[in-house]
Structure 1
Amino acid sequence: MSGAIEASHHELVVEPADSGARLDAYLARTLQIPRTLASTLCKESHVQVNGKAIAKSLKLKSGDKLSVDIPAQADPLEIRVVAVEDLKIIADDEDYVVIDKPVGVAAHPSPGWVGPTVVGALIAEGYNISTSGAAERQGIVHRLDVGTSGLMVVAKTERAYTALKRAFKERTPKKIYHAVVQGLPDPLQGTIDAPIGRHPGHDWKFAVLDGGRNSVTHYKVIEAFGRASLVEVHLETGRTHQIRVHFSAFGHPCAGDQTYGADPKLSAALGLTRQWLHAKRLGFEHPVTGQWVEYESQYPDDLHGALELLREGTY
């Protein structure tokens, strides 16, 4: 299943909340297009900011006026309709489905990703998903990293997509994560408030940077094990890799997260091949009734096993 991108024209005005965002990242997020396409549009002068063609790395300011022309083109991103055995259905509502996403599954197709996706898995199971948004992102209103497991809500109807997309943009849903981080954070409960931007030396990494996007993470330690601690995390903002980047910058990277500085010896001792990070609870207003609903998931086997080793002190 794939879809072409039709020719379109867009006039945008940058809101205060997006001041400081890179042009290509802003376009990808706002227009729901792949970031590679956003970069190409800038490179080929299909984007003007305040009447001038601008490079993709421009940092936008509040009030900037953008004119964007997207030429018609075939969409190279194809939804592979493949069932995912470990993907669990937590709630199946008329307007949405809540899933427990296993590690190794992307939310939707993206350039370079050839593995399974949430969208493809749900279609394989016979679910009708909202067709709003970009063709390859059907029903997706928020995302989890490929290497992060846990709860996601996917819209099944157009009304649910519109309401949930707005809710996540306005940050009204409650997203609670559990993470095992190295060492013992001090204080035991606090807030990490540090801007995040794309890493200057690695296009696939992020970092705390002056001029990055406002990013706020609240946490509290649940259990301490000496070499590591189990923390509960509440995101006030939802930047890519936010928890991983913030705790790494704080000196306490997620166990197993060698991309962001985790100790490989501890990762091996705990049997971790990915970051110990799980989307534990998810709450939001029902997109139609407005009633608050909340869901919870259990740790998957790899994270549960690592946690038991920490509790037993046998790693």
Structure 2
Amino acid sequence: METREFIIDESSENIRLDVFLSGEMEDKSRSYIQGLIEKSQIKVNGILKKSNYKLKLKDIVHISIPDPVGLDIEPEDIPLDIVYEDSDVIVVNKPQGMVVHPASGVYTGTLVNALLNHCKDLSGINGVTRPGIVHRIDKDTSGVLVVAKNDRAHNKLAEQLKDHSMTRSYIALVEGILKKDEGTIDAPLGRHPVERIKIAVVKNGKDAVTHYKVLERFKNATLVECVLETGRTHQIRVHMAHIGHPLIGDPVYGYKKQRFNLNGQMLHAKKLGFIHPSTNEYIEFTSDLPEYFKKILNILKNELK
């Protein structure tokens, strides 16, 4: 049985117990959490509480999560764009719209389903639903990511993520005109104090640093390269919105009225580099912008003519 514990700070005061936990536990749905509360698997300060309990400062929330029962992630014959592969790692180019791994309510059509059909030797560190997954990119973000084929490779790649030595560069199309040619956004991120499904810049959040560089300016949009120093959830999307330039097409942090008919934010994982877990040599991979991205850029370029 897995256990988790949270200590409530000022940013989470007066929020319902189930709402808070559904925000903190991204891999669990609100209905699942409510079920745990009903089954006495969640306690606050050692006492059973209802779903609508309003959290207080310094409350200690303890969760006991039963082991999964009978959940089999099936291999699926889904095409993979493999950039590189050897006995330790697979580097894939993930398309926009594909979820990286199964989670509550999504058990098919994911990158993991496709990987299981392609090969059986994936690391088991992250359990049955996330075999081989070292890091993630959002469903509607396209681009390169690395998958570990064994636990040794997984541990070495995870260590590079932890010490920020892995190279991760993204191309983003943002609203408005950035005046500075380059800059750094150093702003801590955590759960939004009210809208718990969102990430926000918060006082007591986790350190988050994004470096950006302007690549091209359009009539009312800017193409930028973003290099991650840290890798927090939705980091680029929240950081760019924080400085007044949300990503075009972003349904969560972007403008309510969008000028293009898009399926999600204009964000592409362009470059990925790391020390190979066996050879100890630095290797780097790049991914071309997908066609939908190029199409929008061409529209913006034509507006300048």
Length-normalised TM-score, structure 1: 0.78
Structure 1 unaligned segments of length 5 or more: list them. 1-6
Moved more, 95-104 or 166-175: 166-175
State the AA in 1 paired with 2:248: A
Report the alpha carbon displacement of residue 240 of structure 1 after superposing the two structures with TM.
1.0
Report the alpha carbon displacement of residue 194 of structure 1 after superposing the two structures with TM.
1.5
**Contact 2:249–2:258 under 8 Å retained in 1:** no
Distance 1:114 1:214 in 2: 32
Distance 1:183 1:35 in 2: 35
Q: Choose from 53, 64, 76 the match for 1:82.
A: 76
Report the alpha carbon displacement of residue 262 of structure 1 after superposing the two structures with TM.
2.9
Give the structure 2 partner of residue 146 of structure 1.
139
Report the alpha carbon displacement of residue 169 of structure 1 after superposing the two structures with TM.
2.2
Aligned residues: CA RMSD = 3.5
Give the structure 1 partner of residue 293 of structure 2.
303
**Contact 1:80–1:116 under 8 Å retained in 2:** no
Give the structure 2 partner of residue 201 of structure 1.
194
Is residue 176 of structure 2 the alignment partner of residue 186 of structure 1?
Answer: no
Give the structure 2 partner of residue 177 of structure 1.
170
**Contact 1:194–1:246 under 8 Å retained in 2:** yes
Distance 1:75 1:119 in 2: 18
**Contact 1:182–1:253 under 8 Å retained in 2:** yes
Query: SS in structure 2 opposite 1:260?
Result: coil
**Contact 1:47–1:54 under 8 Å retained in 2:** yes
Length-normalised TM-score, structure 2: 0.81
Q: Choose from 96, 103, 107 the match for 2:96.
A: 103
1:9-158 superposed matches below 5 A: 34=28, 70-74=65-69, 76=71, 78-85=72-79, 87-158=80-151
**Contact 1:267–1:273 under 8 Å retained in 2:** no
CA offset digits 1:73-122 (Å, max 9, x no partner): 4165x42422333x310001110100000011111001122551111111
State the AA in 2 paired with 1:74: V
Query: SS in structure 2 opposite 1:143?
Result: coil
Structure 2 unaligned segments of length 5 or more: list them. 13-19
Q: Any runs of at least 4 consecutive aligned residues in structure 1 with deviations exceeding 6 A, and if so which?
A: 19-23, 35-45, 53-61, 65-68
Between the two proteins, what is the percent identity of the paired residues? Answer: 38
State the AA in 1 paired with 2:278: V
**Contact 2:272–2:285 under 8 Å retained in 1:** yes
**Contact 1:256–1:263 under 8 Å retained in 2:** no
